[in-house]
Chains A and B, each alone.
Chain A
Amino acid sequence: MNLTLKVWRQSGPTDAGRMVTYKVEDVSPDMSFLEMLDVLNERLIIEGDDPVAFDHDCREGICGMCGMVINGVAHGEQRATTTCQLHMRHFEDGATITIEPWRAAPFPVVKDLVVDRSAFDRIIQAGGFVSVPAGSAPDAHSVPVRKEDADSAFDAATCIGCGACVAACPNGSASLFTAAKITHLSLLPQGQPERLTRAKAMVDQMDAEGFGGCTNTGECTAVCPKGIPLDTIARMNSDYLQANKK
Chain B
Amino acid sequence: MASSNGKKAVMAVTGAVMVGFLVLHMLGNLKIFLGRESFNDYAHALRTLLEPIAPYRSVLTILEIILVVSVVLHMWAAISLARRAKQARPVKYVAKKSQAGGYATHIMRWGGLTIALYVVWHLLDLTFGVVNPKGFDSAPADRMIAGFDPSRWWVTLIYLVAVVLVGLHLRHGVWSAFQTLGWANRARYKALRATASLLSAVLVVGFLAPPLAITFGVVK
Which A residues are within 8 Å of any B CB, using their own CB? 6, 8, 17, 19, 69, 71-73, 77, 98, 100, 103-106, 168, 170-173, 203-204, 206-207, 210-219, 221-223, 229-231, 233-241, 244
- Interfacial chain A residues near B166, Cβ < 8 Å: none
- Interfacial chain A residues near B197, Cβ < 8 Å: none
A contact patch SS: mixed
Whether B100 lies near A222 (C-beta < 8 A) is yes
Q: A98, A212, A222, A230: which contacts B88 (Cβ < 8 A)?
A: A212
How many A-B pairs fall under 8 Å by CB? 138
Known: A103-B92, A105-B87, A221-B100. A170 touches B4 (CB 8 A): no
- Interfacial chain B residues near A239, Cβ < 8 Å: 182
B189 interface hit (Cβ, 8 Å): yes
CB distance from A122 to the nearest CB of B (A): 16
Whether A229 lies near B93 (C-beta < 8 A) is no
Instruction: Tell me the complex Cα distance, A235–B184, Å.
Output: 8
CB distance from B34 to the nearest CB of A (A): 39
Instruction: Tell me the complex Cα distance, A218–B3, Å.
Output: 21
CB distance from A218 to the nearest CB of B (A): 4
Enumerate the 6 nearest inter-chain pairs by beta-carbon distance, A residue then B residue, closest first. Answer: A238-B182, A172-B88, A213-B4, A72-B97, A171-B85, A72-B95
CB closest chain-A residue, reference B1: A244
Apart from A215-B85, A230-B189, 15 more pairs, CB < 8 Å: A105-B90, A170-B85, A173-B85, A204-B3, A207-B3, A210-B87, A211-B88, A212-B4, A216-B175, A217-B106, A218-B100, A219-B100, A230-B179, A234-B184, A240-B5
- Interfacial chain B residues near A230, Cβ < 8 Å: 179, 186, 189
Whether B101 lies near A219 (C-beta < 8 A) is yes
B218 interface hit (Cβ, 8 Å): no
Whether B95 lies near A217 (C-beta < 8 A) is no
B105 interface hit (Cβ, 8 Å): yes
Whether A238 lies near B183 (C-beta < 8 A) is yes
Instruction: Tell me the complex Cα distance, A234–B186, Å.
Output: 10
Whether A71 lies near B100 (C-beta < 8 A) is no
CB distance from A234 to the nearest CB of B (A): 4
- Interfacial chain B residues near A19, Cβ < 8 Å: 94
CB closest chain-B residue, reference A242: B182
Interface residues of B in 1-40 (CB under 8 A from A): 3-9
- Interfacial chain A residues near B88, Cβ < 8 Å: 104-106, 171-173, 210-212
